[in-house]
């Protein structure tokens, strides 16, 4: 909430004290060593908590196939 009138520098500063950007929480993937976001599947190997969640190779193959089809048109 922003009050319309009477803005002192302190008031503005107090309001903006909550505006700081927070860095992304990242950690090393225990399986492949790539950096990944916490509580998120690793985008490099497709694993989460040691379990394969997404078949990364199949996904890449699908993407390439799609790109090829788009280039043909």
Specify burial of residue 36 (Cβ count, 10 A radius: 0-12, 13-18, 19+).
Answer: buried
Based on CB atoms, which residue is closest to Zn ion, 13 or 50? 50
CA 25 to chain centre: 9
Minimum distance from residue 55 beta carbon to Zn ion (Å): 13
Binding-site ranges for Zn ion (CB under 5 A): 29, 31-32, 42, 44-45
Minimum distance from residue 40 beta carbon to Zn ion (Å): 11
Rounded to whole angstroms, the Cα distance separating 28 from 59 reads 22
Minimum distance from residue 1 beta carbon to Zn ion (Å): 43
């Amino acid at each position: 909430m922003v009050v319309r009138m009477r803005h002192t520098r302190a008031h503005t500063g107090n309001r903006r004290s909550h505006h700081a950007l927070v860095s992304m929480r990242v950690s090393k993937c225990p399986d492949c060593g790539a950096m990944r976001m916490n509580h998120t599947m690793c985008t490099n190997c497709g694993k989460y908590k040691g379990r394969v969640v997404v078949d990364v190779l199949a996904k890449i193959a699908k993407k390439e196939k799609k790109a090829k089809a788009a280039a043909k048109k």
